[in-house]
Structure 1
């Protein structure tokens, strides 16, 4: 079990480092998108991620895409929104590059899309002072115009 956990931890770290490097290079946007989508599709298949039965299940399906649900806790489920956090240390932490964060989160958007939902990053580890990301999920077709994506927030 120790070897398996070691391999998972270091594989995730390597994928995050590689995807963060690619995501910071605008010229690599198509490659970054394809890379993150490919990892998401492999994860969806290997973890058996399926269409969610309801809002709470949407959050659970998203969590299944990660090695540990402890790193991606669900914090709140309201009538229409799942709020969760991502505590996995990100190579973009405190860089201020929320656009690269958006590109990396293609993985999460693909997983949540497969589960029948929509995914928005509300606050990013890339923003200085943040040690985790806050994300929102809603079922497919729900209005998300009130959710302001972190990469669209205007710094003052």
Structure 2
């Protein structure tokens, strides 16, 4: 897992390699969804559980709450981007999570990133596909990297 995260972070750190970063993440997600049989979830608790199956251990990605419309979770796995301030790189790297969530019939957003200084666990949210996400502010928008302020990426 550590080696995959290191490769993912190395690709994500360089905006010019964004296409390669997305392709790598989507390939890993396709392998995970196929081998772990991740398919459309029947509701929010099932969406959270399906997303968790995309990881080596659900203990590293605990679901912290399920509200009427949102699954809230943490990513405790230490990230190579931790403390770097590289929230756009985090956004690129999280294409894996977005692809796994999509395979489960959901949407995914990072609310707080380990890339932010002082943050040791990512806070994330999932919603069923088609549900509004505009009230959830992604970390790369809320805490953009220096030099990228004002340049929005898709969430």
TM-score (norm 1): 0.91
2:153 matched to 1:153? Answer: no
TM-aligned CA deviation for residue 138 of structure 1: 0.4
Separation of aligned partners in 1, 2:16 and 2:133: 29
SS in 2 for 1:136: strand
2:38 matched to 1:24? Answer: no
Map Cα deviations across residues 22-74 of structure 1 (whole Å, 9 max, x no partner): 10111100000000000000000010001001111000000000010000000
- Structure 1 unaligned blocks of 5 or more: 1-11
Match of 2:58 in 1: 69
2:105 matched to 1:116? Answer: yes
Aligned length: 145
RMSD between aligned residues: 1.1
Question: By percentage of residues, which structure has more helix?
Answer: 1
TM-aligned CA deviation for residue 154 of structure 1: 4.4
Separation of aligned partners in 1, 2:86 and 2:33: 27
- Structure 2 unaligned blocks of 5 or more: 145-155
- Structure 1 residue ranges, 4+ long, deviating more than 4 angstroms after superposition: none
Separation of aligned partners in 2, 1:25 and 1:141: 31
Match of 2:40 in 1: 51
The one of 53, 74, 89 equivalent to 1:100 is 89
SS in 2 for 1:120: strand
